[in-house]
Structure 1
Amino acid sequence: MKILKSISLVSLFTLSAVLLSGCAAPARTDQMTAQVSPAQRVANTPMRNNVAVKDVSGGKETNPMWVSNVGNSEFEQALEGSLKDAGLLSAGKQAGKYLLTAHMQKVEQPMFGVSMTVTVTVNYVLTARASGKEVLNRTVSLPYTAEWNSSFIGTERLRLANEGAIRTNIGKIIDEIFAIRADQVALN
């Protein structure tokens, strides 16, 4: 009988832990889309409607029984959505004068914690389609913290931190693309 009570307590504890922690969910594309300023939306740039996303790699699909991650398709959708909102995305993959490749090199996540900070490192390479010359090659590594009060559930806070880190990262590369001047790309 004592063994049965011990097993029941362990089972109850395990079930409670699973219910409190929840299952890991993949990052949501709409929450990873970077916000652009009104000034960027109207900025005069040679990149306006000329950037096509060529390739996105390095992402990792979410295992619902483990931790939230960011897959390649979610990252690509967020990147394209952000470029579109900024007025940089070309009408189609074949229409862009410039091709953007994004390789997610590293995602640093905590295993547990109260406030969760995720740092995402992505290498972006922007090349001129016609010449193949690099216009921009940047590695962006930025953290984002989901505070303890953003969600009671740890897996949810981690997902929020993942989304925020990707959103911040994409926002930074959009700023870099807007900083490209016409004379920098005139010879490409």
Structure 2
Amino acid sequence: MLIATGCLAGLAACGTASQSHKMALAPADALQLRGFMPEGLRGQVALADVSGGAETGRWWGSKVSSLALEHALEESLRGVGLWAPSLPTARFRLKAQLLALSQPLVSLDTEVASAVHFSLVEQSSGAVVYQRSVRTVYKAEFSEALLSHPERLRLANEGAVRQAIQLMLRDLANQRY
């Protein structure tokens, strides 16, 4: 029994890095949101400061890196038509900080909660025009990765961050600029 518990704990500790393209909005979701984006934001948002992520280590479970979050945000902004090619020419800059990623140590259905803080700042005035901490939960079912807890953890991480990005973009679609 002790050996089986040790093996299970060892498997739970292995890390699988989250993939940015799985955290970005799906093309169909991006296309649906694109038509609702305000004219004043289209092609006017560049990324600045994306922080708070952590690199996945071999022994410390799946994490979301700041770089992966940045790539997911860029892909999502491109998908909905907000992406500005360079920071100096953009009207707005988007800042994102991964505040928390709450993960279970071992589970069958793996549920991860994320908290991401987003700020949209107008370049010319420095005024914050949108700010929100988005908290989301995503559950990766046991059947999605039957024999791999690290894989379920990665799927849950990606789903929680994807939902946070989607909520932020839906908020932006309801604002006037």
Q: TM-score, normalised by structure 2?
A: 0.89
Partner secondary structure for residue 123 of structure 1? strand
Partner of 2:61: 67
Partner of 2:80: 86
In the TM superposition, 1:103-118 aligns within 5 A as: 103-118=97-112
Asked if 1:121 is matched to 2:101, the reply is: no
Q: Classify 1:79/1:44 alpha carbon distance in 2 versus 1 (closer, same or farther; 3 Å).
A: closer
| CA displacement 1:54-98 (0-9 Å, x = unmatched) | 111111111122200001000000011111101011122222100
Between Structure 1 and Structure 2, how many residues are aligned?
172
Partner of 1:56: 50
In the TM superposition, 1:103-182 aligns within 5 A as: 103-152=97-146, 153-181=148-176
Q: TM-score, normalised by structure 1?
A: 0.84
Per-residue deviation at 1:149?
Answer: 0.6
Per-residue deviation at 1:21?
Answer: 5.3
Partner secondary structure for residue 112 of structure 1? coil
Partner secondary structure for residue 172 of structure 2? helix
Task: Give the aligned CA root-mean-square deviation in angstroms.
Answer: 2.1
Q: CA–CA distance in 1 between the matches of 2:112 and 2:8?
A: 23
Query: Whose Rg is larger?
Result: 1
Q: CA–CA distance in 1 between the matches of 2:143 and 2:37?
A: 40
Per-residue deviation at 1:173?
Answer: 0.5
Farther-moved stretch of structure 1 (42-51 vs 69-78): 42-51
| CA displacement 1:169-188 (0-9 Å, x = unmatched) | 1011011111111xxx3xxx
Partner of 1:31: 22
Partner of 2:33: 40
Asked if 1:95 is matched to 2:89, the reply is: yes
Partner secondary structure for residue 169 of structure 1? helix
